[in-house]
Amino acid sequence: MDFKIAVIKGDGVGPEIVDEGLKVLDKIAQKYNHKFEYTNVLGGGAAIDVTGEPLPKESLDTCKASDAVLLGAVGGPKWDNIESSKRPEKGLLALRSGLGLFVNLRPATMHESIKEASPLRADIVEKGVDFVVVRELTGGIYFGERKTGVENGVEFAYDVEKYDENEIRRIGKKAFETAMIRNKKLTCVDKANVLDSSKLWRKVLNELAKDYPEVELSYMYVDNAAMQLVKDPSQFDVIVTNNIFGDIISDEASMITGSIGMLPSASVRGDDFGMYEPIHGSAPDIAGQNVVNPIATILSVAMMLRYSFKLEEEAKAIETAVTNVLNAGYRTKDIYNGVGEVVGTKEMGDLIAKEI
């Protein structure tokens, strides 16, 4: 089958990891007789350098006209002092919002063979790590009203966390549906002891729960959740949460599985379209050194095949190839902890593509 993919390599390690994702896609195309048509699209700092804008209209239009988007990461010190509405990260937010991608699925799964890379104690890891963070992606404080100014000679700044019931209901439904196809356990992570917005989340989720009687719904304050994640991650199945808490706890979740370089994500909206992106950033500290772990991006490609293209067998082929390569002892630097052989970014991509 033929699929159009918009490719945003972005900044820092973005081009390196996306190249490995495309290498794997090419292998899938060859083996399963598909045609993936790639269109390179400018986004983030790379777009600012050429056009002055982090998300030129043409880029958004190309993404809209595609079947899916593959994104590396954006941002870096070069653009850190730009006015906040023009920063690379604003381009990414505008992309997610412009494409209507209100759901971000971030599965945290422990690969057995890299357990030693987890900073958690062996007896904790032994109990298993297999949960998914369902993060709201186009609302909340990252999109709320913000202002910086001076009042009575004193500088101030604020950012507003605002959700309406419809925004909560649609992400809530997605979370319950996700729980239904997993272990039917849903934890809403919030700060309802302080925030009115969290109280509205609870009201809407309690209403939704009536439509999903099989799902066990519970609530946990985000500070406790941050602690419980490292105390016993096996207690979680599906976590639903707002944009900012989901951003933060998924980085924590990734490290539990060994590295931030391992966690893929799918940014979706309920139809077949989606943007697929590793959860990490542009890692400028390691860019251009052939050391960045490409597995989060490669697993994001697998999510693309599964969710947008309905190619389950091909998605599984990628996931199995990743598992086999890790089982064979190959490690990028971030997941090496004394066991196995260290390989570079390109070599890891080659090994996975060869294994398909």
Ligand X SMILES: CC(C)CC(=O)C(=O)O
Q: Would the CA dihedral through 338, 18, 44, 149 be positive or negative?
A: negative
Contact 57, 65 (CB under 8 A): no
Closer residue to Mg ion, CB minimum distance, 255 or 343: 255
Q: How far is CA 71 from CA 24, 35, 53, 256, 294, in A?
A: 15, 19, 17, 24, 12
Q: Is 136 a residue that touches Mg ion (CB under 5 A)?
A: no
- The residue from 95, 208, 229, 292 that contacts ligand NAI (CB under 6 A) is 292
Q: How far is the CB of 93 from ligand X (least distance, A)?
A: 6
* Residue 279 binding ligand X, by CB under 6 A: yes
Is 76 an interacting residue with respect to ligand NAI (CB under 6 A)? yes
223 is catalytic: yes
Residue 161 binding ligand X, by CB under 6 A: no
**Spatial separation of the C-alpha atoms in residues 202 and 206, rounded to whole Å:** 6
C-alpha separations of 12 from 84, 165, 282, 283 in Å: 19, 37, 5, 6
Q: Does 232 qualify as catalytic in the annotation?
A: no
CB 67 within 8 A of CB 272: yes
Distance of CA 247 to CAs 6, 33, 134, 254, Å?
24, 37, 10, 11
In a 10 Å sphere around its CB, with 0-12 CB exposed, 13-18 middle and 19+ buried, how is residue 223 labelled?
exposed
Q: Is 135 annotated as a binding residue?
A: yes
Q: Which of 261, 264, 340, 349 touches ligand NAI (CB under 6 A)?
A: 261
Instruction: Single out the segment in contact with ligand NAI by CB under 6 A; choices: 74-82, 110-118, 139-147, 216-224.
Output: 74-82
92 forms part of the interface with ligand X (CB under 6 A): yes
Q: Does residue 211 interact with ligand NAI by CB under 6 A?
A: no
Q: Give the residue with the Cβ less far from ligand X, 11 or 16.
A: 11
Report how far Cα 180 is from the mean position of its chain's Cα atoms.
21
Distance (Å, rounded) from C-alpha 292 to C-alpha 356?
A: 21
| Contact between 352 and ligand NAI per CB under 6 A | no
The angle subtended at Cα 251 by Cα 245 and Cα 255, nearest 5°, is 140
Q: How far apart (Å, rounded) are the C-alpha atoms in residues 167 and 174?
A: 11
Stretch that binds ligand X, among 28-36, 43-51, 85-93, 115-123 (CB under 6 A): 85-93
Check residue 89 for interaction with Mg ion (CB under 5 A): no
Distance CA 338, CA 350 (A): 22
CA distance 232 to 130: 11
Residue 178 beta carbon to ligand NAI: minimum distance, rounded to whole angstroms: 21
- Binding of Mg ion by 247 (CB under 5 A): yes
Stretch that binds Mg ion, among 108-116, 170-178, 245-253, 314-322 (CB under 5 A): 245-253
CA dist list (Å): 99 to 38, 59, 62, 220: 18, 11, 11, 30
* 140 forms part of the interface with ligand NAI (CB under 6 A): no
Sketch the per residue contact string, 24 through 53, with ligand X: x for CB under 6 A, - otherwise: ------------------------------
Binders of ligand X among residues 235 to 274 (CB under 6 A) are 247
Give CA–CA dist 250/135, Å, rounded: 9
| Side chain identity, residue 292 | V
Tell me the window of 20-28, 89-97, 108-116, 197-205 that interacts with ligand X (CB under 6 A): 89-97
Q: Choose the stretch contacting Mg ion; rule: CB under 5 A; options: 88-96, 200-208, 244-252, 286-294.
A: 244-252
Is 87 among the annotated ligand-binding positions?
yes
- 74 forms part of the interface with ligand NAI (CB under 6 A): yes
Active-site residue flag, 26: no
Nearer to Mg ion, 103 or 179 (CB): 103
Contact residues for Mg ion, defined by CB under 5 A = 247
Catalytic residues: 142, 191, 223, 247, 251
Q: Which residues are annotated as a binding site for NAD(+)?
A: 76-89, 281-293
